[in-house]
């Protein structure tokens, strides 16, 4: 992830997670990207500085209130709007904040997607019976990310 943030050009694909399966579900919540550390050029300080991925307060508030407001049933499912043709595919923006001056921000727009259909179930720790759409457990299913805007 660090290398991706520091050096990848727009639209260059980075493998986030290999062998996505039930009980190895990651990167289906945007909040999972918060706090990623990387080094980047800060024009204010004119040097490479440590950066951290973060959201605006408004988005953070929304993330928290959504997670708080959901029933257990809903929070165990990846929302439909994060899928295209049953493959994971969602886009969001966040920024990297320079941790040194705390002022400079680099903006990113990310696209996160899977190469195969995945189950919309998360955290299936109790092995609840899956509905028919969600038996997808295809081998070699990976999660990728790319920058689609800066
Ligand atoms: Zn700075």
pLDDT at residue 5 greater than cutoff 70: yes
**How much distance in Å is there from the Cα of 13 to the middle of ligand 1?**
27
Residues 6+ apart with CB under 8 A from 130: 119, 121, 124
> Would you state the pLDDT for residue 33?
95
**How much distance in Å is there from the Cα of 18 to the middle of ligand 1?**
34
CA distance 97 to 100: 9
pLDDT, mean of residues 141-147 = 96
**How much distance in Å is there from the Cα of 39 to the middle of ligand 1?**
11
**How much distance in Å is there from the Cα of 27 to the middle of ligand 1?**
28
pLDDT at residue 130 greater than cutoff 60: no
**How much distance in Å is there from the Cα of 106 to the middle of ligand 1?**
10
* Burial status of residue 96 (CB atoms within 10 A of its CB: 0-12, 13-18, 19 or more): buried
Residue indicated by tokens 């019976």: 129
Q: What is the pLDDT of residues 40-73, one digit of tens each?
A: 999 999 999 999 999 999 888 888 777 666 666 6
CB atoms within 10 A of CB 53: 19
**How much distance in Å is there from the Cα of 72 to the middle of ligand 1?**
41
> Would you state the pLDDT for residue 92?
95
**How much distance in Å is there from the Cα of 45 to the middle of ligand 1?**
5
* Burial status of residue 35 (CB atoms within 10 A of its CB: 0-12, 13-18, 19 or more): exposed
Residues 6+ apart with CB under 8 A from 79: none
**How much distance in Å is there from the Cα of 44 to the middle of ligand 1?**
6
CA distance 112 to 92: 9
**How much distance in Å is there from the Cα of 120 to the middle of ligand 1?**
39
* Sign of the dihedral through C-alpha 135, 31, 57, 109: negative
> Would you state the pLDDT for residue 129?
54
Residue 129 vs residue 146, higher pLDDT: 146
> Would you state the pLDDT for residue 22?
72
Q: What is the pLDDT of residues 83-110, one digit of tens each?
A: 999 999 999 999 999 999 999 999 999 9
**How much distance in Å is there from the Cα of 49 to the middle of ligand 1?**
6
pLDDT at residue 141 greater than cutoff 70: yes
> To which H or E segment does residue 2 belong?
helix 2-7
């Amino acid at each position: 992830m660090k290398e991706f943030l520091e050096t990848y050009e727009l639209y260059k694909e980075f493998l986030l997670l290999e062998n996505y399966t039930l009980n190895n579900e990651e990167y289906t919540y945007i909040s999972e990207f918060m706090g990623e550390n990387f080094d980047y050029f800060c024009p204010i300080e004119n040097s490479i500085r440590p950066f951290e991925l973060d959201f605006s307060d408004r988005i953070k508030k929304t993330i928290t209130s959504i997670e708080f407001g959901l029933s257990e049933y809903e929070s165990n499912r990846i929302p439909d709007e994060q899928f295209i043709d049953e493959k994971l595919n969602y886009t969001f923006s966040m920024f990297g904040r320079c941790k040194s001056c705390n002022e400079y921000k680099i903006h990113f727009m990310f696209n996160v997607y899977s190469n195969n259909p995945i189950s919309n179930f998360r955290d299936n720790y109790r092995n609840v019976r899956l509905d028919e759409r969600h038996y997808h457990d295809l081998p070699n299913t990976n999660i990728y990310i790319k920058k689609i805007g800066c």
